[in-house]
Amino acid sequence: MIRTEIVKLLVRPRTWITVLLLCLLPFVVAIFLATTNLAPPPGEGPAFLSAVLRDGTLYPAAALAMVVPVFLPVSVAVLAGDSVAGEATGGTLRYLLVRPVGRTRLLVAKLVSVLVFVLLAIAAVIVTSYLTGRALLGGGQPAAVALPGGTTSLSGTPLTPTDLFLRTLASIGYATVCMLAVAAIALFLSTLTDSALGAALGALAVLVASELLATLDAASSVQPYLPTRYWLAWIDFFRQPIFWRDIDRGLAVSGVYIGLLLLASWANFMTRDITA
């Protein structure tokens, strides 16, 4: 079942078009930066973008900062929103369940296929932005006279290529968990309605509301529990020492959303009348 869903995901043109569009944004930004040599000042624009002109090896991190806040969650919400409701809309859900397949297994398979999409999309963004960064923005500082050069962490200490690789890998893992929380919201809504668009828009409405509340001082009491509150905490992997506080909280909050919403999806889907 899981294999079938993954194959279905991979053979769909829209999967690759989405991945392509996700990769396109950092590519276009890199072209602008390289041709104008004009990066935004620190604190403005996506994280790390101010530093990529002096060190192109940081461009994958900057690219991640570009796609994580909006584009990646939108694509995940659309995909996960479509997972069950899309089958219902297309009239295939009934036939899918005629097979000797449990509904729980179907839900798990749908979630795994979303997970594969997230990993695929982030990996594609990281690889293409790394190549773009190296080609258009340069490969970091040359070796220093007294100390080895390399990428500079946010705290000023140099990062070896191995450090940079491991921290980027950890960032991918963290962003994937955050996106799984988005997928869990959309998947739950997808079990409630037969409209894939409705499920995706519902998930996006939740995220927009969360982003709004995250900026509102009056809502400070609920901010630590908002799904988007710790989305950019992966940046803390690039501090020295790594600042684990927000990363830990982000993983915990995302974990709770994933657990509860998958449980709710299962509770609803197990007894849902399949009419389409």
Q: Which of 75, 129, 152, 168 binds other proteins (CB under 8 A)?
A: 152
- Where helices occur in 90-195 by DSSP H, the ranges are 93-98, 103-132, 161-192
Is residue 193 a contact residue for other proteins (CB under 8 A)?
A: no
Q: Which is nearer to other proteins, 38 or 146 (CB)?
A: 146
Please state the three-class secondary structure of 196-207 as a single string: HHHHHHHHHHHH
> Pattern 216-255, binding to other proteins, x per CB under 8 A?
--------xx------x--x---x-x-x-x----------
Contact stretch for other proteins (CB under 8 A) within 19-27, 141-149, 179-187, 193-201: 141-149
User: Cis (ω within 30 of 0) for the bond into 148?
Assistant: no
The encoded tokens of residue 131 equal: 């190549």
Which residue of 157, 160, 208, 209 would you call a contact of other proteins, by CB under 8 A? 157
Task: List, in order, residues 6 or more apart from 33 with CB less than 8 Å away.
Answer: 39, 49, 52, 53, 136, 137
The number of C-alpha atoms within 13 Å of 46 and in the hemisphere containing its C-beta is 21
What is the Cα–Cα distance from 43 to 67, expressed in whole angstroms?
A: 17
Please tell me whether residue 37 binds other proteins under the rule CB under 8 A. no
- Report the residue from 65, 183, 189, 203 that binds other proteins according to the rule CB under 8 A: 65
Decide whether 65 or 183 has the Cβ nearer to other proteins. 65
Which is nearer to other proteins, 43 or 100 (by Cβ)?
43
Least Cβ distance, residue 154 to other proteins (angstroms): 4
Q: What minimum distance in Å lies between the beta carbon of 103 and other proteins?
A: 12
In Å, how far are 23, 75, 188, 215 from 123, measured between CA atoms?
10, 15, 26, 30
Q: Considering the complex, state which of residue 123 and residue 263 has its C-beta at the smaller distance from other proteins.
A: 263
Least Cβ distance, residue 60 to other proteins (angstroms):
14
Tokens of 129: 């932005």
Q: Is 267 in the site for other proteins (CB under 8 A)?
A: yes
Q: Which window, 20-28, 29-37, 138-146, 176-184, contacts other proteins (CB under 8 A)?
A: 138-146
In this structure, is the dihedral angle defined by the CA atoms of residues 198, 199, 200 and 206, taken in order, positive or negative? Answer: positive
Contact 52, 94 (CB under 8 A): no
The pair phi, psi for residue 151, each rounded to 5°, is -75, 140
Contact residues toward other proteins (CB under 8 A) are 41-43, 46-51, 54-55, 65, 141-149, 152, 154-158, 224-225, 232, 235, 239, 241, 243, 245, 256, 259-260, 263-264, 266-267, 270-271
